[in-house]
Amino acid sequence: MQEGQDWIYSDIVKDHFLNPRNYLMGDESNFDYDVSGIVGNPICGDQMKMFLKIDPKTDKITDLRWKTYGCASAIASTSALSELAKGKTLDEALSITAEDIDDYLGKLPKHKFHCSILGHDALREAINKYRSTS
């Protein structure tokens, strides 16, 4: 950032970017997950992978982790989504919108709003894959 420029993100975005929640460090095989979903955004080149641990009796997401190749907005948005979705049923998790994530983060810059959709799309992909194999 050049001198005199302000950080364009809210403090909560900065916190989730610098201290991402539920981020999967290292080898994916070290996390015992039931299903994963992966999506990419050809506009910005970001890619997101979501890993879910699901209780089959309650359909609740008991744990989740994620990996990304993305910008600060994509990282912060997916970190926030992981906090919002953990402990929810699959239907409740699917009802979380990009606007919910944006509100939780105190608003992303308009040109970065599309980043809040990437994590949700990976979550939806994982849930759809889980439901198609259950």
The residues annotated as belonging to the active site are: 44, 115
Crossing angle for the helix pair 11-18 and 72-85, to the nearest 10 degrees = 90
67 SS3 class: strand
Closest of 71, 68, 75, 77 to residue 106, by C-alpha: 77
Given CA atoms 11, 13, 18, 21 in this order, what sign does their dihedral have? positive
